[in-house]
């Protein structure tokens, strides 16, 4: 039989350098904004290749948790380790760590005055010091991977919301992150564009990307999550497989929350 060429791993995850420890380890995380205590002793451990969906009511701290994980916010207490490395306080090591933790936001945050291709190559050339030609080739492969290769030379405003969000995912992947965080990546999209973005996320999950996804898309949670984490009032109150969680949430708060979102 002729040898088959393995599918290229376009996300090219570096994977964990130490498979015996979690890719993300959050312990006793505390965060306040002035008098408002937003994260209250949050513990979360995510294994390499695991997909964790975070759900919970508005204001429960989901975005703040994501922002602490890539240090857009500085936690007040507790610890965060990515692949066994504590989050550095600042400087070059912090830039390197940010590159290890990719983030995709609700609003796509693409640079409007740069082409899609430039948006995807900018991080690797500036932060990872990847040669331009190499970054370009990888970027084109990633744009193809998310289904918008033909949009490489367009500007973000010339793309639909779903296409922009897929460009944002390609941009995050271009840094070859160890972990990808998604904060409500489909909630700003018109309904008909939600699936094209979720499909890309499902395929990343299937390829083994380590992902933490804040979303109310329960279909995605059922299809792709290894674990669902329910937050309320700054705490993780429940954590389980999607089957366990959706069939029989243990806490009243989770039951109440699910009954509200599943009605829509
Ligand atoms: N920069 C900030 N300054 C002051 N308060 C903040 C700041 N960011 C968040 N908060 C407060 O922290 C709490 C948690 O906010 P966060 O955005 O993490 O919630 P969330 O679970 O992501 O909610 P949503 O589902 O609405 O996105 C809220 O009470 C919010 O008002
Ligand atoms: Mg939020």
Protein residues with CB under 6 Å of any ligand 1 atom? 33, 36, 38, 56, 58-64
Measured in Å, residue 67 CA sits from the centre of ligand 2 at 10
Query: In ligand 1, which atom is closest to the CA atom of 64?
Result: 18
What pLDDT digit, counting tens, does each position of 83-120 carry?
998 887 766 777 777 788 999 999 888 999 999 999 99
Per-residue pLDDT averaged across 22-36, rounded?
A: 96
Per-residue pLDDT, 17: 60
* Nearest CA owner, ligand 1 atom 18: 61
Per-residue pLDDT, 1: 42
pLDDT exceeds 80 at position 10: no
Per-residue pLDDT averaged across 79-84, rounded?
A: 92
Find out whether 175 and 152 touch, Cβ atoms under 8 Å: no
Q: What is the mean pLDDT of the chain?
A: 90
Ligand nearest to the CA of 231: 1
Give residues whose Cβ lies within 5 Å of ion ligand 2: 63
Question: What confidence category does residue 253 fall into, taking pLDDT thresholds of 50, 70 and 90?
Answer: very high
Structure tokens at 222: 């059922």
Query: In ligand 1, which atom is closest to the CA atom of 57?
Result: 25
Fold of 24-262: Rossmann fold (3.40.50)
Measured in Å, residue 175 CA sits from the centre of ligand 1 at 27
Lowest pLDDT segment from 6-10, 25-29, 118-122:
6-10
* Nearest CA owner, ligand 1 atom 25: 58
Measured in Å, residue 7 CA sits from the centre of ligand 2 at 35
Measured in Å, residue 131 CA sits from the centre of ligand 2 at 36
pLDDT exceeds 50 at position 8: no
Per-residue pLDDT, 85: 87
What pLDDT digit, counting tens, does each position of 164-215 carry?
999 999 999 999 999 999 999 999 999 999 999 999 999 999 999 999 999 9
pLDDT exceeds 60 at position 33: yes
């Amino acid at each position: 039989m002729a040898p088959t060429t393995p599918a290229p791993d376009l996300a090219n995850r570096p994977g964990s350098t130490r498979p015996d420890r979690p890719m993300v380890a959050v312990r006793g995380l505390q965060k306040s904004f002035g008098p408002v205590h937003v994260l209250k002793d949050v513990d979360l451990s995510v294994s390499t290749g695991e997909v964790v969906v975070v759900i919970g009511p508005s204001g429960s701290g989901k975005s703040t948790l994501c922002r602490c994980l890539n240090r857009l916010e500085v936690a007040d207490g507790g610890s965060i380790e990515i692949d066994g490395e504590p989050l550095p306080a600042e400087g070059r090591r912090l830039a390197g760590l940010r590159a290890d933790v990719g983030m995709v936001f609700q609003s796509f945050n693409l640079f409007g005055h740069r082409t899609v291709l430039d948006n995807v190559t900018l991080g690797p050339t500036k932060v990872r010091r990847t040669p331009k030609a190499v970054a370009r080739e990888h970027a084109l492969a990633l744009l193809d991977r998310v289904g918008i290769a033909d949009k490489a030379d367009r500007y973000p405003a010339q793309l639909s919301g779903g296409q922009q969000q897929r460009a944002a995912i390609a941009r995050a992947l271009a840094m070859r992150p160890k972990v990808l965080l998604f904060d409500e990546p489909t909630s700003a999209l018109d309904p008909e564009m939600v699936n094209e973005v979720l499909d890309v996320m499902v395929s990343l999950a299937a390829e083994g990307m380590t992902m933490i996804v804040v979303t109310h898309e329960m279909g995605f949670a059922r299809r792709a999550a290894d674990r669902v984490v329910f937050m309320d009032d700054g705490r993780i109150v429940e954590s389980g497989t999607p089957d366990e969680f959706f069939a029989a949430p243990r806490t009243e708060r989770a039951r109440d929350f699910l009954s509200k979102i599943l009605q829509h």
